[in-house]
Amino acid sequence: MKIYSPIQQLKHPSRINIWVKRDDLIDPYISGNKWRKLKYILEEAKNLKKDHLVTFGGAYSNHLVATAAACAGNGLKSTAFVRGEAVENEMLLLCRLFGMRLIFTDRRDYKEKDKLFRRHFAEDSCAFFVDEGGAGIAAVKGCAELIAELPPDIDHLFCAAGTGTTAAGLLKGILESGSKTILHVVPVLKGGDFIADEIARYTGSSDQLILHTDYHFGGYGKTQPGLISFIKRFVAEEGMLIDPVYTAKLFFAIDDLVKKQYFKTTDKIAAVHTGGLLGIWGMKEKFRGDG
């Protein structure tokens, strides 16, 4: 299937050497890396004659919306175990619209995903287990394909990381292509050093990999006033939406490294816009007012 994910140059004078791979434009609901992660999961499910994807996520999970939309578009059923007590929000509304069944699950039970799956779906031979965030080899394979869509002369490729699966795929693609591109990963959670191991688990190597672990702004889903004002400025300057959970931390990191003269002036820098723009609805109150 042909996808729409152009590579565009940023506009602001301080960002002229920076290009963005617009995976956010692939689909409004199966956005960015979630589309790439699901591609081979859907294929595998179909090959195994499974017609029902069962997966896991928090109440503001991009992965849940993406899975619900992708399943609906491929004639599959979907169910999600949603972490925590029952709530309603914009993301879960979309999940339901795409036909996903939601099972709210307390945090202790949620940790034992295999057990949950077996307890509810042992009888359903057409149910297919998809890990939280779609993590796994199929997801890595899908993300690795992005590299072949980039110009070959990129010196530095940046992405945001939650689990590191997407980054693992990108590094795999880089190493297999033999290009000199260095992958820079910005963990959006605190203590993101573990992501290097997670990546190496899939690639067998941490060559051409650099982690920038100081741009988490307090942790996963956390923001600070500096990040919010950065988002407002960036979106207005570039005409490109970014989200507070993932891509804002990524672009903040790049701006900061440019300011610190981390790059050579001739370096070609690119960032993967991994989508996730619905995440902004989880933080509406942070954007009120003109400040």
Ligand X SMILES: *Cc1c(COP(=O)(O)O)cnc(C)c1O
Catalog residues that contact ligand X under the rule CB under 6 A.
Answer: 32-34, 62-63, 133, 160-167, 246-247, 274-276
Q: Which residue is nearest to ligand X (CB)?
A: 276
Q: Report the residue number, 34 or 77, with the smaller CB distance to ligand X.
A: 34
Q: Report the residue number, 217 or 246, with the smaller CB distance to ligand X.
A: 246
Q: Report the residue number, 116 or 277, with the smaller CB distance to ligand X.
A: 277
**Least separation in angstroms between CB 278 and ligand X:** 9
How many Å apart are CA 67 and CA 37, to the nearest integer?
Answer: 10
> How many other C-beta atoms can be found within 10 angstroms of the C-beta atom of residue 136?
17
**Least separation in angstroms between CB 289 and ligand X:** 25
Cβ contact 68:100 at 8 Å: yes
Residue with tokens 């820079």: 184
**Least separation in angstroms between CB 277 and ligand X:** 8
**Least separation in angstroms between CB 122 and ligand X:** 28
Q: Report the residue number, 133 or 173, with the smaller CB distance to ligand X.
A: 133
**Least separation in angstroms between CB 247 and ligand X:** 6
Cβ contact 48:105 at 8 Å: no
For every residue of 114-131, which 3-state class applies, written as one string? Answer: HHHHHHHHCCCCCEEECC
Q: Any residues with CB less than 8 A from the CB of 250 and at least 6 apart, and which?
A: 158, 159, 160, 186, 188, 215, 242, 271
Q: Report the residue number, 154 or 160, with the smaller CB distance to ligand X.
A: 160
User: Which 8-state DSSP code applies to residue 204?
Assistant: S
